[in-house]
Each structure stands twice: as structure tokens, then as C-alpha cells.
Amino acid sequence: EAQVTQNPRYLITVTGKKLTVTCSQNMNHEYMSWYRQDPGLGLRQIYYSMNVEVTDKGDVPEGYKVSRKEKRNFPLILESPSPNQTSLYFCASKGISGIDPSSYNEQFFGPGTRLTVL
């Protein structure tokens, strides 16, 4: 089954304790992205990656790091989490190459990770 998986699904942690949220996709997609969802703000992009070893900042990158060493994985790293990073996080992926241009820009989302930083 084609899917995007995230782990963990729920995490409660304390300020300053480094954490990593993993994201993996099995669709051989080039593009992967991280979003955070907050009430009244919708989804905002944190980082994205167009391919292996290529990453770029989104709209709200402060306090986050990412890496793209393999095509299927795109972990989100919080080196020193703070309470304002309490949020619902989504990973997404999509293919950016292909024959049919009308199908190439659909993003597939993971189930979400609910993070609470105390």
C-alpha cells in the first residue's frame, strides 16, 4: 500500500530535550515536506526537500532541522524544543517527474504527529 508513515504519532517531552520525528514514504517520491498545523493558522510549511541531499526552508523553519540522506526518509529534528513548538506535524510527499503534468503535483500526507513540549 502506498503511504507516508510518521513516528511517533504522539509525543510529550520537556523543553530542551532533543527529539526526532521520522517520516518515510514508499512511493519513490522525489519531493518531501514538513508542515505544522495550529488552530486558526492552518498548515504552514517548515522545510521541504526536492531530492536526496537537497533541502530548503519553508515559511517557519526556526527551531527545526531536517536531513535527506535517503530518498524515502525525511526526519524532522528539534534540537532544543520549546513550548511554542507544541503542534500537530504532518509529513507529505509527491512525485515531481512523470509524463502526466496534471497528476504530478498531488501531495500525500502522513497521519500526523501530535507533539507537546512542556
Interacting residues with other proteins (CB under 8 A): 31, 33, 35, 40-45, 48, 50, 56, 58, 90, 92, 94, 96, 101-102, 105-112
Contact 92, 36 (CB under 8 A): no
Half-sphere exposure of 84 (CA within 13 A, CB side): 5
Residue 109: closest CA among 5, 14, 1: 5
Q: 14 or 27, CB closer to other proteins?
A: 27
CB of residue 80 vs other proteins: minimum separation in angstroms?
Answer: 27
Nearer to other proteins, 80 or 103 (CB): 103
Rounded Cα gap, residues 57 and 60, in angstroms = 8
**Closer to other proteins at the Cβ: 85 or 93?**
93
